[in-house]
């Protein structure tokens, strides 16, 4: 029989990983995803909106630009500070608050819309996180998410990392489970919510596959920490495998690097 999962220890390691590097270097390139999600959720002026695992604030800014009253949360304060700088530069009034996606410090039904772009999917206790999104959303409100699919380039990248690193504790599910219709309908549809899912693609654009991996290795927390944990020889093996994956996804040929990565755009209407 497997021992209970120590989610607290796992979360602490994840928090350290996301605080390393500088996610904003990659995060700001994903802004279009937040804008499209805000439109898909049909956000209204003066709506109370919560951004969960907000990172440097892509969905936060998208909602604030549409006149919403936004609370932006993450468990990495440094990322919230970057989001705050972006909001201040645009004159947007946003509240930034450190918070855990698995234990949101808000009242039941407090928000008209709850958003997360490539954020809550990385919380280790997936069932608890899904439950919290539902709890803080009002009846008839929207939960909007963008989650990488297992088949996406980013989903495949995490599988490559998994081949080079020690396995996670028994029973821990991969983040890309949030990019499957089965999981989403089990967690939200089973509670009577209406779940609308659209498959979309985000195009990563860099000079080459090697340039893309260099940027991820330097700035993207999980990849940055993976390389730091390996010997130089094993790090070279990981780099080779990641570049091979990226090259296989490149649609630009010799003209550069344009690699589409599939994600699900999810709009859940709470019963």
Q: pLDDT digit string (tens) for 172-206?
A: 899 999 999 999 999 999 999 999 999 999 999 99
Q: Which residues lie closer than 8 Å to 188 by C-beta, 6 or more apart? A: 130, 134, 143, 195, 268
Q: What is the pLDDT of residues 21-45, one digit of tens each?
A: 899 999 999 999 999 999 999 999 9
pLDDT at 31: 98
Q: What is the pLDDT of residues 111-148, one digit of tens each?
A: 999 999 999 999 999 999 999 999 999 999 999 999 99
Q: What is the CA radius of gyration of the chain?
A: 18
Q: Which residues lie closer than 8 Å to 35 by C-beta, 6 or more apart? A: 62
pLDDT at residue 61 is higher than 60: yes
Beta bridge partners of 171: none
For the domain bounded by 7-205+261-269, which CATH number is listed? Answer: 3.40.50.150
Residue 2: pLDDT band (50, 70, 90) is low
pLDDT at residue 1 is higher than 80: no
pLDDT at 20: 87
Report d(CA 54, CA 97) in Å as an integer.
Answer: 10
pTM of the model: 0.95
pLDDT at residue 69 is higher than 70: yes
Q: What is the pLDDT of residues 84-97, one digit of tens each?
A: 999 999 999 999 99
What is the residue extent of each domain of the chain?
Answer: 7-205+261-269
| Helix (H) and strand (E) counts in the chain | 11, 7
- Residue-wise burial string across 195-211, b where 16 or more C-beta atoms lie within 10 A, e elsewhere: bebeebebebebebbee
CA distances to 17, 98, 209, 214 from 240, rounded to whole Å, are 22, 37, 10, 11
């Amino acid at each position: 029989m497997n021992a209970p999962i120590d989610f607290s220890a796992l979360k602490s390691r994840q928090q350290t990983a996301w605080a390393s590097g500088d996610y904003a270097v990659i995060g700001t390139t994903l802004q279009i995803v937040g804008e499209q999600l805000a439109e898909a959720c049909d956000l209204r002026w003066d709506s109370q909106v919560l951004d969960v695992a907000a990172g440097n604030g892509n969905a936060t800014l998208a909602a604030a630009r549409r006149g919403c009253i936004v609370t932006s949360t993450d468990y990495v304060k440094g990322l919230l500070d970057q989001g705050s700088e972006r909001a201040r530069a645009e004159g947007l009034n946003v509240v930034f608050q450190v918070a855990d996606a698995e234990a949101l410090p808000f009242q039941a039904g407090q928000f008209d819309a709850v958003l997360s772009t490539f954020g809550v999917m990385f919380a280790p206790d997936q069932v608890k996180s899904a439950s919290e999104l539902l709890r803080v959303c009002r009846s008839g409100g929207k939960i909007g998410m963008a989650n990488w699919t297992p088949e996406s380039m980013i989903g495949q990248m995490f599988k490559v990392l998994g081949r080079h690193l020690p396995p996670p504790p028994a029973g821990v599910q991969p983040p890309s489970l949030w990019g499957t219709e089965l999981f989403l309908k089990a967690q939200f549809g089973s509670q009577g919510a209406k779940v609308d899912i659209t498959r979309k693609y985000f195009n990563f654009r860099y000079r080459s596959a090697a340039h893309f991996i260099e940027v991820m290795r330097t700035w993207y927390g999980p990849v940055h920490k993976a390389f730091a944990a390996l010997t130089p020889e094993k790090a070279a093996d990981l780099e080779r495998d990641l570049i091979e994956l990226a090259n296989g996804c490149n649609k630009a040929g010799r003209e550069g690097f344009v690699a589409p990565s599939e994600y699900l755009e999810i709009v859940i209407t709470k019963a």
